[in-house]
């Protein structure tokens, strides 16, 4: 979550800060994806879990800034990502590809949304 604070403190827009968090998450997960170090793998997954927990919490609160449909989508994504993350922590043979792919999809959405404004 230090990555989030660093990104936010660099005067980035919310969307840019979110995109930077997902870039860093992807890099972290990719760095341990094929390695054999279970401790590093679980640390990377723990970062994944914390980011999605923040997203889930943020979307659980009605602030009027995000459509209800979008908030529900992010809450469902967070739930699914966290469930898979728990399974991946318990089974070190489980691929991290679904976590990486989900993060990439969110990143693409953030980057596409940033160019449209």
Q: Domain residues of the chain, as ranges?
A: 2-116
DSSP structure class, residue 96: S
The pLDDT of residue 70 is: 81
Q: Would you identify the CATH topology of the domain 2-116?
A: 1.20.120
pLDDT tens digits along 9-58: 555 567 788 899 999 999 999 999 998 899 999 999 999 999 999 988 88
Q: What is the mean pLDDT of the chain?
A: 85
Closest listed residue to residue 74, CA positions, set 63, 66, 83: 66
Answering whether pTM is above 0.75, one says: yes
Judge whether 78 and 56 are in contact, CB under 8 Å: yes
d(Cα 61, Cα 47) in Å, to the nearest integer? 22
The sign one gets for the Cα dihedral 53, 14, 1, 22 is positive
| 85 or 2: which leads in pLDDT | 85
The pLDDT of residue 84 is: 97
3-state secondary structure (DSSP) of residue 111: helix
């Amino acid at each position: 979550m230090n990555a989030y604070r660093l990104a936010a403190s660099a005067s980035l827009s919310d969307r840019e800060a979110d995109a930077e968090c997902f870039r860093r998450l992807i890099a972290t997960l990719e760095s341990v994806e094929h390695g054999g170090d279970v401790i590093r793998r679980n640390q990377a997954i723990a970062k994944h879990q914390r980011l999605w927990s923040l997203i889930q919490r943020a979307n659980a609160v009605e602030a009027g800034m995000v459509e209800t449909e979008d908030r529900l989508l992010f809450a469902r994504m967070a739930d699914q990502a966290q469930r898979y993350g728990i399974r991946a922590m318990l089974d070190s043979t489980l691929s991290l590809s679904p976590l990486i792919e989900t993060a990439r999809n969110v990143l693409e959405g953030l980057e596409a949304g940033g160019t449209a404004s």
